[in-house]
Amino acid sequence: MQPEWPVPQARSAVVSRGLELSLCEWGDVSSAGLVLVGAHGFLDCAEFFAPLVMALHERCADLAFVAMSFAGHGRSSWADTYGWYDHTADLLAVTRAVRTRARDGARLGLIGHSFGAVQVLQALTFEPRLAEFAVNLDAVSPPFSMQNDGLPEVLAHLAARGGDIRPLPTYGDLDAIVQRRAASNPRLPVTLLRWLAPHLVREQDGRYAWRVDPALAGWVRPWDLAGSPPVDPLELTAALPHPVLTVTGAAPDHPQVRGHYPGDAAIDSRPGSRHCRLPDAGHYVHLECPDQVAAAVLGHAGHPAGEQPA
């Protein structure tokens, strides 16, 4: 039997920069003592946190989890252009809105995976008082970025196409979607990919198209042309006043979903960082080992149901 991960108890939206950002909510933000705001990885969506939410709620009933879909992802609006700090501004807008709804005395933390984890760290450098702690799920190297000497080639490529964005392929059924995603994420269970597939696509003329904005999935990442190159997440961690839990997977994974691993010593040496290393997980630590990640997150948040990370 295919497992059923928890569907959001509520769907809401926050407007940022004139865009509507879709939110998935599990638990009651207005009454929970612990509130987590989740930021997904690049080309994923808010629903990718469902397995972790289930594991968290099994350990802590007094918890609310609000996951956003970045602009151009999931059910959120598409933007005219995308830049690195545009996503940061959107995450800040969502967190402010959640913080306003949370009850007095609630403990609020930001948790992000991959691209979303770097955005969490980036956001807290601008507004450190928005959260009490942060969790970084396997983002320990700068996101892939074009070298400066590649800019002329990019501009020539775009000019040759007349500014057209590469169209994304469509698929005849959801099984084809699952197969395509499994090629990029071979470590993820097929049962989970089947559950996630409807959230990643929309039906269009009898076929399935990715929900993601093609402008995000083209030949070059949009922030490469935005003048704000991604920064090193470990450097951001060291600069924050917050306690940061960094969860990494030690198992091999697809080379295109994970950058260079700097080594455990580099992670452990960052002041303020606590490192939880999972030997049996790849890049998607929260999907492969949700129980272990949930225990580490709750321990980091100071909840008695959690275990202190190694």
CATH number of the domain encompassing residue 288: 3.40.50.1820
Rounding to the nearest 10 degrees, give the CA dihedral for residues 74, 286, 221, 239: 120
Q: DSSP label at 73?
A: S
The angle, 0 to 180 degrees and rounded to 10, between the axes of the packed helices 50-59 and 290-300 is 60
Tell me if 308 is assigned to some domain: no
Instruction: State the total domains in the chain.
Output: 1
Tell me if 4 is assigned to some domain: no
**193 Cβ neighbours under 8 A, 6+ residues apart:** 178, 181, 182, 185
Per-position pLDDT tens, the chain of length 310: 456 899 999 999 999 999 999 999 999 999 999 999 999 999 999 999 999 999 999 999 999 999 999 999 999 999 998 889 999 999 999 999 999 999 999 999 999 999 999 999 999 999 999 999 999 999 988 766 665 566 677 667 667 766 566 678 999 999 999 999 999 999 999 999 999 999 999 998 899 999 999 888 866 676 776 666 678 899 999 999 988 999 999 999 987 787 777 788 888 888 778 999 999 999 999 999 999 999 999 999 997 777 655 5
Confidence at residue 154, expressed as pLDDT on a 0 to 100 scale: 66
Tell me if 1 is assigned to some domain: no
The angle, 0 to 180 degrees and rounded to 10, between the axes of the packed helices 174-184 and 190-200 is 110
pTM, to two decimals: 0.92
Tell me if 238 is assigned to some domain: yes
Contact 298, 59 (CB under 8 A): yes
Q: How far apart are CA 181 and CA 178, in angstroms?
A: 5
Confidence at residue 81, expressed as pLDDT on a 0 to 100 scale: 85
Tell me if 285 is assigned to some domain: yes
Rounding to the nearest 10 degrees, give the CA dihedral for residues 13, 88, 126, 118: 120
Tell me if 164 is assigned to some domain: no
Confidence at residue 106, expressed as pLDDT on a 0 to 100 scale: 97
> Phi and psi dihedrals of 273, rounded to 5?
-100, 140
Tell me if 196 is assigned to some domain: no
Confidence at residue 269, expressed as pLDDT on a 0 to 100 scale: 85
Tell me if 163 is assigned to some domain: no
Domain that holds residue 136: 10-146+212-300
| Helical residues (DSSP H) of the chain, grouped into ranges | 50-59, 84-101, 115-126, 151-160, 174-184, 190-200, 233-239, 264-268, 285-288, 290-300
